[in-house]
Structure 1
């Protein structure tokens, strides 16, 4: 939300009195206030405008001190108000008075105070951000464990057939040798089953 430049109010009142009320005087007393000292204080229109402008300047400073209250547009408006007041003071004879000069000076103070507050806020925010960053513990980057090379297991060797026992091999050999002898002996016998005479017995 763009803030309205409050210093524009007394400057606008001064312009209204100059252009629309040419017979009005800024130095004529409006009211007279008796003081405890016995003196009489004569309040003029210039005094009223300056007092109102001082109070409005205080409100502008309070608005600018709030976090995020003053934006760039607000500073630009304050600068425009000061530039217009300074141009009227220099170029128009009716504005060449001490009262209008003080109003213009207050407009300048409004613009400069807004810039100073914004700069101060940035200067305070920068160390806060850096301190918050420094307070965070540094994250340790753990090295990734080295991966072991993947080795395919060797194919299992086919199960060897159990070797035949030595006793069974010996029996097989003896049987192979015994069968031819028996067949030979049966072939040598005659039909009656008795060996011929003179044949040696085995």
Structure 2
């Protein structure tokens, strides 16, 4: 069972743990290099891995938004609150003023917009009014 707590709080917590408890963490650190069949070397940095993690959680957030329950509204409100708090952190905290956090913010904004859009669309599908026959 999925809880009404926004899942994107997990990447936000990971980001804050890395920058505040492990100062000096370099986002450009290479995690791995993959040899492609073409002969090219694909390097994956910590920043790219983090962004993929954020997108993974976004996928599940969008899946959660397709359910119509009494918790849906709470979930959307908490997602919006999380986005607003993250926006404040981006603007006010020096460690959050970078592209990695900005992309996390974009993912959170997409979650808020997609959550409301999908919910409205699902609600329209579930609520159909037939014309009155006279």
TM-score (norm 2): 0.88
Question: Does structure 1 conserve the Cα–Cα contact (< 8 Å) formed by 2:67 and 2:119?
Answer: no
1:33-91 superposed Cα distances (whole Å, 9 cap, x missing partner):
11112121221111111001111111111111134375211011101111111111111
> Aligned partners of 2:76 and 2:32: how far apart in 1?
36
Which residue does the alignment assign to 2:21? 20
Q: Deviations over 1:109-131 (max 9, x none)?
A: 1111111122212322332xx22
What secondary structure is seen at the aligned counterpart in 1 of 2:26?
Answer: coil
Equivalent residue for 1:92? 93
Runs of at least 5 residues in structure 2 that lack an aligned partner in the other structure:
none
| Uncovered stretches (5+) of structure 1, i.e. residues with no partner | 139-202
**Cα distance in 1 between the residues matched to 2:79 and 2:19:** 22
| Aligned match of 2:121 | 120
Normalising by the residue count of structure 1, what TM-score does the alignment of the two structures yield?
0.60
> What is the aligned partner in structure 2 of residue 7 from structure 1?
8
Larger Rg: 1
How many residues in Structure 1 have an aligned counterpart in Structure 2?
133
SS at match of 1:102: helix
More helix by share: 2
Instruction: Measure, in 2, the Cα distance between the counterparts of 1:81 and 1:32.
Output: 34
